[in-house]
Amino acid sequence: MLCGSLLNDYYPFHQFLLACLNKHLQMKKEEIPQDDGALGRIAREVTYVVGEDGKYETAQSSGWDVKTEALNVAWDEVERKIEAARQKVLNGTASPLLYFMEKKIMDLSILSSYTGFWKWTIKRHLKPSVFKKLPEEKLKKYAELFEVSIEELKLPFGA
């Protein structure tokens, strides 16, 4: 909090700092960020950098905090949607389908192309009253796609 307001008060100073940083950003091979990234755990990425002689060469990076953080923001958003769906299912305003759809980061059109159901059909299935009456074979289609059993599909959070 304090840090944030300080930064705002000393905005020109902050700009100056960034400008100093700029000078160093003509990245050299040994300056390639080697932060912890999700991909870095399985493979280092190829990056292109200008070497001492001004010529481009390739080097590997295990990650960069700036983009790891960007990926985290995207996943926070996914988590937020899953949580909102869970609440809706728990208080009976949506069928469990919504929860699994968000969990698999799908939207109506992706879900529709995987299952072959029309979008408006899926919209109906999202209503708890309609979902309860769905025949076994339709539930099976959803369950297979979401990689859960039919029991789990009906009761995602246990009895």
Partner 1 sequence: METTNYKETPNASFGAPGANFHHLQAAHCENGVTTALLHHYGITKITEPLAFGIGSGLFYVQLPFMKVNGGPAISFRTMPGLIFKRTCTALGVPVTRKKYTSHEKAMRELDERLAAGKPTACQVGVFYLTYFPKEYRFHFNAHNLIVVDKQGDHYYISDPIMEELVTMNSYELERVRFAKGAFAPRGQMYYPGDNLAEPSNEQMRLGIITGIKRNCRDMLMIPGSFGGAKGIAYTGRQIKKWKNRLGDEKARTYLAQLVRMQEEIGTGGGGFRFIYGAFLQQAHAYLPVDELLDVSQQITASGDKWRDAAIQASGIYKGRLGTQADYDNMGDRLIEISELEKKAFKELREAIKKVK
Binding site for partner 1 (CB under 8 A): 3-4, 7-8, 11, 15, 18, 21-22, 25-27, 38-39, 41-50, 55-58, 60-61, 64-67, 69-71, 73-75, 77, 105-106, 109-110, 113-114
Q: Measured from the CB of residue 133, what is the shortest distance to partner 1 in angstroms?
A: 26
The amino acid at 132:
K
Compute the distance between CA of residue 81 and CA of residue 83 in angstroms, rounded to an integer.
5
Q: Is 84 or 130 the residue whose CB approaches partner 1 more closely? A: 84
SS3 for 48?
A: strand
Compute the distance between CA of residue 22 and CA of residue 13 in angstroms, rounded to an integer.
14
Torsion of CA 118, 124, 127, 131, to 10 degrees: -70
Q: Is 115 or 128 the residue whose CB approaches partner 1 more closely? A: 115
H or E segment at 154? helix 150-154
Q: Is 65 or 151 the residue whose CB approaches partner 1 more closely? A: 65
Residue in 33, 38, 25, 44 with CA at minimum distance from that of residue 68:
38
Q: Measured from the CB of residue 77, what is the shortest distance to partner 1 in angstroms?
A: 5
Q: Measured from the CB of residue 131, what is the shortest distance to partner 1 in angstroms?
A: 22
Q: Measured from the CB of residue 89, what is the shortest distance to partner 1 in angstroms?
A: 20
